[in-house]
């Protein structure tokens, strides 16, 4: 069954690989229209998912992630509208040079082919991912979580109906209806047909994919991010950035989990940070020095420094300077987003140079690590690996290249 989906996806990917930007944009428009046409059906399917989830005693946060309503469907449609406005990267020739023997050699952007996405509860991912794939001429195989299966079926069938109305193959977008773990594992091993697999979800999902896949994987999402307040930092700026990076949306990957503070200013700046974070009831878990300064802070364990809390908890450590901060971050961090707050030119450059992460900031909140904020437009997730794509993945991350060579009979 899954094998057949792979074959169908490969066939569809070849059929859509040569589409013009205009044809793809028309199909995207049809998808947005169809989502509105089938809105009642989609919301009814979603209501069923939400009902079951509540019966299973799922948390309010999870219910919120799962739930669709008219305004959320409008949100999907307006995201599609923005996607239509973006330039199509496919077909662009990145460079073309003439070799001494007269060969003209260029590198052309092409689709990846078949993209598989394994994601958890949010049903909107199926629309986001499928439309980004269509825009870049990739066929997609979606595998969502079992809590959202009825929503995902309704959404994907609406998108497939739209493809058919646009004269494109339905199988350019496929959803795996069987949500068993076994099927997910089989999908990870389908390297005969799938060109890349992107897991979108928590650390457990990502680890399972990396450990089991023979399909090339792009790791996304886990963010154990830090702010380091250097000796020369502006205290107001430091308090604002720490507050924003920790509390503006603590459940996302670009929120910070750790604060490092230079020992010479720790006794001055930590009480200011603490006072601000108390407004959001942030729990501080600190090293010994932190707890001398902030009497009510809990003790941080070694494990805490490795943890992505995704909530109102902040691990704090006082360090001897920028070198220890860099060492700590490169050891405990997940290579996502890291920030130094400093007025020192030398330390800012050192931090930018030596921190090994997808996004390295001087004097700005880590919350900006996002396709939209970086000016890339639509985003397929945030890669924390070094191969192929690193950081927010825009449309170009969904492409490969091929060399094209124009000759006149040259032999070697």
What is the contact surface with a copy of itself in residues (CB under 8 A)? 14, 17-18, 97, 99, 103, 105, 108, 110, 112-113, 191, 195-196, 210-211, 214, 216-218, 234, 237, 240-241, 243-245, 248, 330, 352-354, 356-365, 367-369, 373-375, 385-388, 390-391, 400-412
Q: Do residues 407 and 103 lie in contact, with contact meaning Cβ atoms separated by under 8 Å?
A: yes
Q: At what angle do helices 70-85 and 21-37 cross, to 10 degrees?
A: 170
Between 19 and 43, name the residue whose CB sits nearer to a copy of itself: 19
Helix axes of 39-55 and 149-165: crossing angle, nearest 10 degrees: 160
From residue 112, alpha-carbon distances to 140, 173, 219, 239, 327 in Å are: 10, 15, 16, 43, 37
Q: Which is nearer to a copy of itself, 4 or 410 (CB)?
A: 410
- The distance of closest approach from Cβ of residue 113 to a copy of itself in the complex, given in angstroms and rounded to an integer, is 6
104 three-state secondary structure? strand
CB nearer to a copy of itself: pick between 46 and 365:
365
Shortest distance, CB of residue 155 to a copy of itself, whole angstroms?
Answer: 27
| Token pair listed for 345 | 């030119």
Which residue number, 19 or 318, has a Cβ lying nearer to a copy of itself?
Answer: 19
CA 144 to chain centre: 16
Q: Residue 223, by phi and psi: left (phi above 0), alpha (psi -120 to 50) or beta?
A: beta
- Taking the C-alpha atoms of residue 278 and residue 41, their distance in angstroms, rounded to an integer, is 45
The nearest distance, CB 8 to a copy of itself, in angstroms, is 15
Residue among 299 and 405 whose Cβ is closer to a copy of itself? 405
List Cα–Cα distances, 309 to 18, 52, 340, 384, in angstroms: 45, 27, 21, 18
Q: What is the DSSP letter of 217?
A: B
Nearer to a copy of itself, 280 or 402 (CB): 402
In the structure encoding, which two tokens stand for residue 299, read together? Answer: 């003790």
Task: Tell me the C-alpha to C-alpha distance, in Å, between residue 160 and each of 22, 87, 110, 115, 167.
Answer: 19, 23, 23, 16, 11
Side-chain half-sphere exposure of 238, counting CA atoms within 13 A: 27
Distance CA 271, CA 228 (A): 16
| Cα–Cα dist 123/156, whole Å | 10
263/373 with CB nearer a copy of itself: 373
Minimum separation from the CB atom of position 386 to a copy of itself (A): 4
Considering the complex, state which of residue 60 and residue 408 has its C-beta at the smaller distance from a copy of itself.
408
Question: Between 80 and 358, whose beta carbon lies closer to a copy of itself?
Answer: 358
To a copy of itself, the closest distance from the beta carbon of 353 in angstroms equals: 6
C-alpha to C-alpha distance for 341 and 326, rounded to whole angstroms: 13
Q: How far is the CB of 23 from a copy of itself (least distance, A)?
A: 15
Please, what is the minimum distance in Å from the beta carbon of residue 182 to a copy of itself?
Answer: 18
Nearer to a copy of itself, 203 or 404 (CB): 404
Closest distance of CB 55 from a copy of itself, Å: 37
Question: CA–CA separation, 207 vs 219, rounded Å?
Answer: 9
> Is residue 330 within 8 Å of residue 219, measured between CB atoms?
no
State the nearest-atom distance from the C-beta of 388 to a copy of itself, in Å. 4
Residue 123 or 250: the one with the smaller Cβ distance to a copy of itself is 250
User: How near is the Cβ of 122 to a copy of itself at its closest, in Å?
Assistant: 21
What phi and psi values does residue 157 have, to the nearest 5 degrees?
A: -65, -40
Minimum CB separation of residue 70 from a copy of itself in Å reads 27
In this structure, are residues 305 and 317 in contact, taking their beta carbons and an 8 Å threshold?
Answer: yes
**297 contacts 326 by C-beta, under 8 angstroms:** no
């Amino acid at each position: 069954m899954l094998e057949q989906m792979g074959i169908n996806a490969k066939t569809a990917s070849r059929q859509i690989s040569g589409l013009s930007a205009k044809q793809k944009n028309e199909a995207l428009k049809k998808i947005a229209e169809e989502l509105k046409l089938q809105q009642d059906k989609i919301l009814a399917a979603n209501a069923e998912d939400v009902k079951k989830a509540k019966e299973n005693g799922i948390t309010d946060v999870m219910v919120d992630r799962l739930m669709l309503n008219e305004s959320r469907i409008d949100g999907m449609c307006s995201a599609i509208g923005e996607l239509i406005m973006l330039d199509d990267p496919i077909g662009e020739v990145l460079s073309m040079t003439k070799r001494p023997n007269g060969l003209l050699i260029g590198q052309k952007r092409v689709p990846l082919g078949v993209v598989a996405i394994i994601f958890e509860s949010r049903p909107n991912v199926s629309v986001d991912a499928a439309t980004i794939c269509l825009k870049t001429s990739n066929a997609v195989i979606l595998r969502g979580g079992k809590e959202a299966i009825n929503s995902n079926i309704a959404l994907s069938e609406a998108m497939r109906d739209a493809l058919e109305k646009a004269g494109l193959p339905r199988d350019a977008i496929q959803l795996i209806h069987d949500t068993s773990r076994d099927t997910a594992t089989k999908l990870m091993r389908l390297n005969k047909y799938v060109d890349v697999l992107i897991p979108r979800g928590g650390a457990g999902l990502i680890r399972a994919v990396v450990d089991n896949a023979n399909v090339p994987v792009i790791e996304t999402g886990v963010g154990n991010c830090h702010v380091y307040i250097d000796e020369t930092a502006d205290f107001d700026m430091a308090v604002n950035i720490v507050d924003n990076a920790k509390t503006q949306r603590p459940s996302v990957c670009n929120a910070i989990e750790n604060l490092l503070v230079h020992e010479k200013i720790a006794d001055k700046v930590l009480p200011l940070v603490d006072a601000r974070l108390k407004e959001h009831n942030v729990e501080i878990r600190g090293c010994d020095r932190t707890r001398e300064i902030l009497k009510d802070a809990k003790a941080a364990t070694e494990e805490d420094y490795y943890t992505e809390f995704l909530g109102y908890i902040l691990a704090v450590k006082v360090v001897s300077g920028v070198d220890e901060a860099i060492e700590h971050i490169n050891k405990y961090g997940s290579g996502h987003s890291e920030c130094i707050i400093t007025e020192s030119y030398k330390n800012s450059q050192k931090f930018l140079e030596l921190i090994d992460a997808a996004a390295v900031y001087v004097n700005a909140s880590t919350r900006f690590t996002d396709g939209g904020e970086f000016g890339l437009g639509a985003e397929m997730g945030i890669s924390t690996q070094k191969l192929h794509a690193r950081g927010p993945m825009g449309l170009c991350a969904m492409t490969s290249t091929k060399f094209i060579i124009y000759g006149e009979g040259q032999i070697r």
